[in-house]
Amino acid sequence: MKPKILIVEDEEAQAEVLRYNFEQEGCDVALAYDGEEALMAAEEQQPDLVVLDWMLPGISGLRVCQALRGRQETKDLPIVMVTARGEETDRVRGLDSGADDYVVKPFSPSELVARVRAVLRRSRPSLGQEHLSFGDIVMDLGTHRVLREEKPIHLGPTEFRLLQLFMERPDRVFSREQLLDRVWGRDIHVESRTVDVHIRRLRKALGEHGGDDVIRTVRGAGYALDAQAM
């Protein structure tokens, strides 16, 4: 699954340069131009990492960072702070801003991309991984093969992406909207009922050779993997 990067930068030209570079790296990119937008986007778009400019109109990057750390949903969201050379560098380094890393302007886009990659590798090892496993289920992301108790499971492309998303974050509950966004994409119009149809297919396929149902329906919230089934 492509990592999703939220770029928070008020200078549009700079934001576009960064968008281009991260897309070239195989990332999905969302943009926000001020702190308020950033906080909304972090909640709605569920990015895997935020690139956060310190100097923003309105709420500063530092405040955004603290606000993200203070919310249950985003408290572990990796943040790479962007600062101008000068005293802020010391503040980012010295104070506990809550950021995972920082780069100092001016920087080359490739430098930032490399930093982001490093933070992502630490925070979500599965992004660079070829195999995911959960209990007796193993996904090979290279060959798109899925095994359960070493027997092949046959999944359609949508079910494969659903299972991959769940297995990348086995502790998380995904709402239908989040699944639509991550698996089908924002721009495609699909009804949320469609999610249920594909979850049903995924369940059926995973039970092809028996075994417990590993998809948990969380009433009023969505779906998650069921660690207790394992």
CA–CA gap between residue 21 and residue 124 (Å, rounded): 21
User: What is the nearest approach in angstroms of Ca ion to the Cβ of residue 60?
Assistant: 10
| Torsion, Cα of 38, 42, 44, 49 (10° steps) | 130
Site string for Ca ion, 49-78 (x = CB under 5 A): ----x-x-----------------------
Options 5-13, 41-49, 101-109, 184-192: segment touching Ca ion (CB under 5 A): 5-13
Q: Which listed residue (1, 2, 10, 217) binds Ca ion by CB under 5 A? A: 10
Options 36-44, 46-54, 161-169, 175-183: segment touching Ca ion (CB under 5 A): 46-54
User: What is the nearest approach in angstroms of Ca ion to the Cβ of residue 120?
Assistant: 23
Q: Give the Cα-Cα-Cα angle 197, 5, 104 (nearest 5 degrees).
A: 170
CA–CA gap between residue 169 and residue 124 (Å, rounded): 9
> Toward Ca ion, which CB reaches closer, 62 or 139?
62
Which residue's CB atom is positioned nearest to Ca ion?
55
Q: CB 192: neighbour CB atoms within 10 A?
A: 12
Burial label for 152, CB within 10 Å (0-12, 13-18, 19+), is exposed
User: What is the nearest approach in angstroms of Ca ion to the Cβ of residue 183?
Assistant: 33
In contact, 105 and 88? CB cutoff 8 Å: no
In contact, 153 and 205? CB cutoff 8 Å: yes
> Toward Ca ion, which CB reaches closer, 8 or 155?
8
Site string for Ca ion, 22-41 (x = CB under 5 A): --------------------
Binding region for Ca ion (CB under 5 A): 10, 53, 55
